[in-house]
Amino acid sequence: MSIIITRRSLVAGAAVGAGALLTGCDKIIQHPEARKILFMGEEMQRGLQRALTDRNALVPEFSAAQMSPIFRSNGTRNPGTPAYTEMLVNNFADYRLRVGGLVDRPLSLSLPQLRQMPARAQITRHDCVEGWSAIAKWQGPKLATLLQAAGIRDTARYIVFTCADLYRGTPYYESIDLIDAFHPQTILAWALNDQILDVAHGAPVRLRVERQLGYKHAKYIMAIDAVASLAGIGKGKGGYWEDNVDYDWYAGI
Amino acid sequence: MNDPARPIATAPVTVIKRHRIATRLWHWITAVAMFIMIGSGIGILKAHPRFYWGRYGANFDQAWTTLDQWPGWVVTLINLLTIPASYNLAISRRWHLFFALVLSFALLGFMIVSLFNRHFQRDLRVRAGELAPREVAHDVREHLALRFHDPKRPAAYNILQKLSYVATIFILLPVMILTGLAMSPAMDAAWPWLLDIFGGRQSARSIHFIAMVALVLFIIAHLALVILAGAWNEVRSMITGRFTVPGHVPAHTGEDAA
């Protein structure tokens, strides 16, 4: 035997190897190509889920007894801009939800109009990307109802939400595809736990897109636009977090 | 220094083929993937280092364990292992969700191949009598005496080895994958039974964490035993497939632990 390896050198070698692998992980994703491969994981997860599971499957709904005692708020807790504060002071009397983009009949809906639309109530689980979950009851019209009322065109591929809260000086924005937009549990909630939606949770209207993580559930929605591509939105990845801190656009896992 | 890895020059040795290519390939893919999964998983854990039982769980709810209850050396260790080194939830998730697919499909492939090439049936199947208390006690004594290979069948796995491999391959890794899927809101819609078997999403997250700790303990024991059993010989047998055994052994014993 010409190769003689002692236990000590093997342990040391393993430790050095582990250390090299760790720093290697941080180094390798500096490379655009490696980064591209790693970021393909999102498309693989989305593709597998869409291919292997029912696209219309409903998330589990819970009973009132199963709800979280306290539903924590996260992200923006109050947009605090002069325009938002003015709306809030007037109890959102001047609020108008604009539905536009690739639609035949752009809409401008007041809060009473939204509340008069047929609503869906659902007790669902909210999963934050950080790992926590909370169960609450949400109520509001289906997004599909609004998109159909506006006459969404065949060329539309994504729905973009523009919000009243500012991140780095620009309004928060998020987007979803039409599979999630037309999902029966995707609603524009104006009530939480049988109360009018409060400021911390996204008043007057926030999105519920139940099969995705919390950051997709845009709060303080001001405008809904149907678009053919995400290229012109923000930096092109479809949302504030996606554009600025590498979060997945598809947050179904 | 009496190193079992270093055969005595005069003793006759036989080189046998031990691990098949599928086993070796899977082993190393899984080794790298597990390392990345643990590191990136710690990164994700740090975003909300509290664990709950049941369907929901957030800051106002009762946690059964939180990071600030853990001993300092554990926190130091997990800080050392975190991928990426500086906290970045988005990048930890990118690593985790990419290598989750690598780990899962490698396991699936390995399971299919090992059924067909009979690795599972031949080498991992626990045989009648092996679980008898007398046999297990004998194997425990052999481990304590640092004798890991049966001289009559040096390539075969001993019973403790079989049980730990079976637990890892057929219980821990599948539990890891299924609890991981149970944390996906989209998968919970498609496969609601995931929530039923683990008792809710936050229970699944806790079980994911506990199974990870069990896997880390397995890895520590596995590495320690590889070193004690003769590090170079064992590692080489997992790289090239060739394994050196003392004495003259028939080319094929009928019991090859690939």
pLDDT in tens, A111-159: 999 999 999 999 999 999 999 999 999 999 999 999 999 999 999 999 9
User: What amino acid is encoded at B147 in this protein?
Assistant: R
Give the residue from B42, B64, B41 showing the smallest Cα distance to B52. B64
Total domains in chain A come to 2
> What b/e string do you get for A128-155 counting C-beta neighbours within 10 Å, with b at 16 or more?
bbbbbbbbbbbbbbbbbbbbeebebeee
Encoded tokens for A240:
């504030």
**In this structure, how many other beta carbons lie within 10 angstroms of the beta carbon of residue B43?**
25
Within this chain, do residues A71 and A44 fall inside the same structural domain, yes or no? no
The answer to whether position A226 is within a domain reads yes
Q: Mean pLDDT check: name the lowest of A64-68, B19-23, B164-168.
A: B19-23
- Assess if residue A251 is contained within a domain: no
Same domain, A80 and A22: no
Complete edge-to-edge strand list for the sheet that includes strand A133-141: A119-127, A133-141, A191-192, A195-196
Residue A44 lies in a domain: yes
Query: What chain B residue is nearest to A133 in terms of C-alpha separation?
Result: B56
Q: Integer distance in angstroms from the first to the last C-alpha of chain A?
A: 51
Flag if B59 and A29 touch (Cβ within 8 Å): no
Model pLDDT for residues B210-245, shown as the tens digit of each residue:
999 999 999 999 999 999 988 888 889 999 999 988
Residues A117 and A238 in one domain: yes
Range list of H helices, B121-230: 133-144, 159-166, 173-182, 185-190, 193-198, 201-228
Buried b (16+ CB within 10 A) or exposed e, A6-27: ebeebeeeeeeeeeebbeebee
Of B56, B91, B205, the CB nearest to A29: B91
Q: Distance (Å, rounded) from C-alpha A178 to C-alpha A147?
A: 10
Rounded Cα–Cα distance for residues A17 and B214 (Å) = 23
Which residues of chain B lie closer than 8 angstroms to A253, CB-CB? 97, 181, 183-187
Q: Which domain holds residue B105?
A: 13-26+97-246
A18 and A113 fall within a common domain? no
Q: What total number of domains does chain B contain? A: 1
Which spans in A29-153 are helix H?
32-52, 82-89, 111-116, 143-150
Residue A219 belongs to some domain of the structure: yes
pLDDT tier at A13 (50, 70, 90 boundaries)? confident
Tell if the CB–CB gap between A211 and B44 is shorter than 8 Å.
no
Q: Is residue B50 part of a domain?
A: no
Task: Please check whether residues A108 and A204 belong to one and the same domain.
Answer: yes
Q: How confident is the model at residue B10 (pLDDT cuts 50, 70, 90)?
A: low
A51 touches B at CB < 8 Å: no
Q: Is the pLDDT of residue B147 over 80?
A: yes
A253/B186 CB distance under 8 A: yes
- Can you say how many angstroms the Cα of residue A127 is from the centroid of all Cα atoms in its chain? 11
Assess whether pLDDT exceeds 80 at residue B5.
Answer: no
The pLDDT score that the predictor gives to residue B254 is: 39
Q: Is residue A92 predicted with pLDDT exceeding 90?
A: yes
In B, residues 40-59, which contact A (CB 8 Å cutoff)?
A: 44-45, 47-48, 50, 55-59
The arithmetic mean of pLDDT across residues A49-78, rounded, is: 95
The pLDDT value recorded for residue B178 is: 98
State the helix-helix crossing angle for B21-45 and B201-228, rounded to 10 degrees.
130
Q: Is the pLDDT of residue B6 over 90?
A: no
Q: Is residue A250 part of a domain?
A: no
**Same domain assignment for residues A25 and A71:** no
Q: What is the distance between the alpha carbons of residues A210 and A204, in angstroms, rounded to a whole number?
A: 19
What is the C-alpha to C-alpha distance for residues A234 and A169, in angstroms, rounded to an integer? 12
pLDDT for position B125 = 93
Contact A171, A163 (CB under 8 A): yes
* pLDDT surpassing 80 at residue A5: no
Judge whether B180 lies within some domain.
Answer: yes
Largest CA distance in chain B: 69
In a domain, residue B34? The reply is no
In a domain, A252, yes or no: no
What pLDDT sits at residue B257?
Answer: 44
Residue A153's CATH number: 3.90.420.10
Q: Is A83 found in the same domain as A37?
A: no
In this predicted structure, what is the pLDDT of residue B9?
53
**Residues in chain A, how many?**
253
Q: What are A249's two structure tokens?
A: 């656009």
A164, two tokens = 């009243």
Whole-number pLDDT of residue A162: 98
* A2 vs B: CB within 8 A: no
Note whether B55 contacts A14, CB cutoff 8 Å. no
Residues of chain A above pLDDT 90, percent: 88
Q: Which domain holds residue A68?
A: 59-245
Residues A142 and A24 in one domain: no
Residues B148-200 have pLDDT tens digits of 888 888 888 999 999 999 999 999 999 999 999 999 999 999 999 999 999 99
**Does one domain contain both A64 and A43?**
no
A contact residues 55-74, partner B, Cβ 8 Å cutoff: 57-60, 62, 66-72
Alpha carbons A146 and A155: distance in angstroms, whole number: 17
> In whole angstroms, what is the distance from residue A212 CA to residue A209 CA?
6
pLDDT for B3 beyond 60: no
ipTM score of the complex?
A: 0.92
pLDDT of residue A65: 97
Residues of B in contact with A48 (CB under 8 A): 101
Q: What is the pLDDT of residue B155?
A: 81
Residue B237 lies in a domain: yes
Q: What is the pLDDT of residue B253?
A: 44
Q: How far apart are the first and last CA of chain B?
A: 30
Contact B98/A38, CB-based, under 8 Å? Answer: yes
Q: Round the average pLDDT of chain B to a whole number and report it.
A: 90
Q: Contact B19/B71 with Cβ under 8 angstroms? A: no
Residue-level length of chain B? 258
- Chain B residues closer than 8 Å to A47 by CB: none
Residue B6 burial by Cβ neighbours in a 10 Å radius (0-12, 13-18, 19+)? middle
Q: Is residue A199 part of a domain?
A: yes
Same domain, A41 and A166: no
- Judge if A30 and A86 occupy the same domain: no
Q: Is the pLDDT of residue B8 over 60?
A: no
Q: What is the DSSP string of B33-58?
A: HHHHHHHHHHHHHTTS-EE--SS-B-
List the structure tokens of A188.
């524009």
Evaluate whether residue B59 is within a structural domain.
Answer: no
A76 and A132 both lie in a single domain: yes
Are the beta carbons of A102 and A228 closer than 8 angstroms? yes
Domain membership of residue B73 (yes or no) is: no
A220 — pLDDT class (breaks 50, 70, 90): very high
Tell me whether residue A146 is in a domain.
Answer: yes
Give the pLDDT of residue A49.
96
Q: Residues B137-153: what's their mean pLDDT? A: 88
**Residue B252 — pLDDT band, cuts 50, 70, 90?**
very low
